[in-house]
Amino acid sequence: KTIRHFLLAAGLLAASSASAAIIIDTVFVGDAGNANDTTGYGGVSYGYHIGTYEVTNSEYTAFLNATAATDTHSLYNANMGTSTHGGINRTGSPGSYTYSVKTGFDNKPVNYVSFWDAARFANWLTNGQGSGDTETGVYELTSAGISNNSITRNNTAFNNGGVAVASENEWYKAAYYDGSGGFTLYP
């Protein structure tokens, strides 16, 4: 799986003192309140920004190096290093893990990322990157909430400049909506 796209609300992210900030290029998706397509998807009642490109191995590697020296939340999947579709290597031992992008994979989409990994990446972006918090922000992550699959987007945090994983309707609209009330066959 890849992190397809992230939404970005107003209030872009500040740079960490440890490294350059990750800036997610976005496009605005307007025409708030459009109806769903015949598939039942794509109706969104608000305007929003969505990532122009998929999250890259370089961007996810910066996240791992900032937050996963111990990798408490299993943000790194071993397939990232062993699969031909993976683009990130890990070296070291718990407490001192470091991550690097495989040669030639810098700008390719990151693979083997779960929804919860993506939510933590979004929280980290929302919280200023660097050593920013991964468990609070647009998503208030708890082990019980993850087990119950009951965690939802905190719209207050999102509307105050937070980053979130695009919902299916948001992604569908960004991909297929023609801007005049209809949908196209191809993204």
pLDDT digits (tens, 9 = 90+) for 89-116: 999 999 999 999 999 999 999 999 999 9
Q: Quote the pLDDT of residue 13.
A: 35
Whether the predicted pLDDT of 167 surpasses 60: yes
State the chain's maximal CA–CA distance in angstroms. Answer: 54
Say what the pTM is.
0.87
Closest CA to 22 of 62, 57, 75: 62
Per-residue tokens: 4: 């397809």
Q: Is 134 helix (H, G, I), strand (E, B) or coil?
A: coil
Token pair for 78: 């071993």
Our CA dihedral for 19, 20, 21, 27, rounded to 10 degrees, sits at: -150
Does the pLDDT at position 126 exceed 60? Answer: yes
